[in-house]
Amino acid sequence: MGYQNEVKSVLPNNISKLGMALLCCLLSFYGEAQQNSTAPIDYSSLKLPERPNIVWIVAEDLSPYLPMYGDATVATPNLSRLAKEGVKYTNVYSPAGVCAPSRAAIATGMYPTRIGAMHMRTGPWFSFKVKDEALRNHQQKYSPVYEAKPPAGVHMHSDYLRRAGYYCTNNRKEDYQFRCELTAWDESSDKAHWKNRPKDQPFFAIFNLMVTHESKIWTKAKDSLWVDNSLDVPMEPYWPKTPLAKKDVRRMYSNIKEMDHQVGVLLKELEDEGLLEKTIVFWYTDHGGPLPRSKRTIYDSGIKVPMLIRFPNGQFAGQSDHQLISFVDFKPTLLSLAGLPKPEYTDGMAWMGSHRNTEPRTYIYAAADRFDRQHDRIRVVRDARYKYVRNLLPDRPYYLPIKFRENMDIMQELLRLHQKDSLNAQQRQWFRPEKDREELFDTWSDPDELQNLINDASHADKLQELRGALDGWIQDTKDQGLVPETDYLKKIGDYWDQPQTAAPDFIKKGNLFQLESPTPGAAIGYQWLSPNEEPKDSWHVYTSPLESKDNKILVARAHRIGYKPSDLVEFDTK
Q: What is the pLDDT of residues 123-142, one digit of tens each?
A: 655 454 444 555 555 554 55
Helix, strand or coil for residue 396? Answer: coil
Q: What is the chain's length? A: 574
Residue type, 310: R
**What pLDDT does 142 receive?**
55
Q: What pLDDT digit, counting tens, does each position of 494-526 carry? A: 555 789 999 999 998 888 999 999 999 999 999
Q: pLDDT tens for residues 337-353?
A: 999 999 999 999 999 99
* CB distance 328 to 345 below 8 Å: no
pLDDT-derived band at 26 (thresholds 50, 70, 90) equals very low
Q: How far is CA 7 from CA 1, 62, 391, in A?
A: 10, 23, 40
pLDDT digits 0-9 by tens, 450-461: 999 999 999 999
What number is the average pLDDT over the span 477-504? 87
**Mean of pLDDT values over 48-68:** 98
172-219 per-position pLDDT tens digit: 999 999 999 999 999 999 999 999 999 999 999 999 999 999 999 999
| pTM confidence score | 0.92
**CB neighbours of 264 closer than 8 A, spacing ≥ 6?**
77, 78
Give the pLDDT confidence score for residue 134 in this predicted structure. 56
| Pairing mode of beta strands 523-529, 87-93 | unpaired
Higher pLDDT, 121 or 318: 318
Backbone conformation region of residue 457, classed left if phi is above 0, alpha if psi is from -120 to 50, else beta: alpha
Contact (Cβ atoms closer than 8 angstroms) between residue 118 and residue 112: yes
Average the pLDDT over 42-59 and give the result.
Answer: 97
Among candidate residues 24, 99, 168, 180, the one labeled active-site is 99
Note if 180 is an active site residue: no
CA distance 572 to 476: 47
Check if the beta carbon of residue 562 is closer than 8 Å to that of residue 521: no
- Please give the single-letter amino acid code of residue 345: Y
Could you give the CA distance from residue 429 to residue 449 in angstroms, rounded to a whole number? Answer: 10
Residues 555 and 571: their CA atoms lie apart, in Å, by 6
pLDDT at 85 > cutoff 60? yes
Residue that wins the pLDDT comparison between 15 and 62: 62
Backbone angles phi, psi at 265, to 5 degrees: -60, -45
Whole-angstrom distance, CA of residue 514 vs CA of residue 508: 6
346: left (phi over 0), alpha (psi -120 to 50) or beta: beta
Which pLDDT score, from 0 to 100, does residue 224 have? Answer: 63
CA-to-CA distance for 169 and 194, rounded, in angstroms? 7
Nearest to 408 by CA among 123, 541, 214: 214
pLDDT, tens digit, for every residue of 399-424? Answer: 999 999 999 999 999 999 999 999 99
- Is 9 a residue whose pLDDT tops 60? no
Q: Which residue has the higher pLDDT, 131 or 245?
A: 245
Reading phi first (left if > 0) and then psi (alpha if -120 to 50, else beta), residue 322 is in alpha
Which region, left, alpha or beta, applies to residue 449 given φ > 0 means left and ψ of -120 to 50 means alpha? left
Q: For the chain, what is the mean pLDDT?
A: 90
